Structure formats: C-alpha cells, structure tokens
Amino acid sequence: MNLQSGIFDKTRLVSNLLMLILVAGNIFFSIQYTEGIKQQADQAAATVDQDAARIQSARFLKEFIDIVLNTQGTIAFDDRVKLENDIRQIHDSNLTNQWNDFVNSKNAKAAQGSAVKLMSMLTNKML
C-alpha cells in the first residue's frame, strides 16, 4: 500500500506541475496578445494623426495657391487670418516659422522665395 501511494503522489505531482506550466503559459501568452493589440491600436492612432496632418497640409496648400498665388495686389484681411489659423492648426513649428518668414518678407523677391520654400515644405509633409 505504501508503494501505491508513492506512485499516486508522483503522478499527482507531475500533473500539478504540468497544470502550473500550462497556466503560466496561458498567462504569458495572454499578456503578449494584449500588448500586441495595444501596439496595433497605437499604430492605428498614429496613422490617423499622420493622415489628418497630410489632409490639413493639402488643404492649406490649395488655399494658399487659390488665395495668395492667384491674387493680384493685396490679400484680404479675412483671407490672411484664415490662412494664419489654418497653418497653426497643422501644429508644425517649421511650417509656422516659414509662414512667418513669408508674411514678414521685405520685398516681392523675398516673399516669392519664402512662398516656394513653404510650398515645398507642405508637399514634403504630404508625402
């Protein structure tokens, strides 16, 4: 009888160890799975943010071309305010600084150079 109880204890010990290993494996893979889902959600959110910035840049570029480049003479105050607000909504300090360089240009040649650089930066942001 002592021999049989020893076999059952060993079998019970082995089955308990296997159960413990299986539970630990399930916990590990569950954590890995949830981390993967979180990473995918973060990547999706970053993609949405990039797409929104691209769309804002494209809209601003179109407005800039329609308002600034197609206007002869001075640009209406309302149009300038709209462009100013739109460039700030992109939340890119380099674009905002280039916009300020364009607005503060001393002559037509400097304004033209700043406009070209601004348009180049906008197209790069859309890519």
Q: What predicted TM-score, i.e. pTM, was given to this entire model?
A: 0.68
The yes-or-no verdict on residue 1 having pLDDT over 50 is no
Mean pLDDT of the chain: 89
- Provide the pLDDT for residue 7: 64
- Provide the pLDDT for residue 4: 58
Mapping DSSP to helix (H, G, I), strand (E, B) and coil, where does residue 55 land? helix
What percent of the chain clears pLDDT 70, i.e. is strictly above it? 94
The yes-or-no verdict on residue 17 having pLDDT over 60 is yes
What percent of the chain clears pLDDT 90, i.e. is strictly above it? 61
Give the lowest-confidence range in 16-25, 71-80, 112-121. Answer: 71-80
Closest CA to 98 of 73, 90, 69: 90
User: Once rounded to an integer, what is the mean pLDDT over residues 56-60?
Assistant: 93
The yes-or-no verdict on residue 70 having pLDDT over 90 is no
76-115 confidence digits (pLDDT tens): 899 999 999 999 999 899 999 999 999 998 988 998 899 9
CA angle 59, 60, 64 (to 5 degrees): 120
Task: Give the residue ranges of DSSP H helices in the chain.
Answer: 2-64, 77-89, 93-103, 108-126
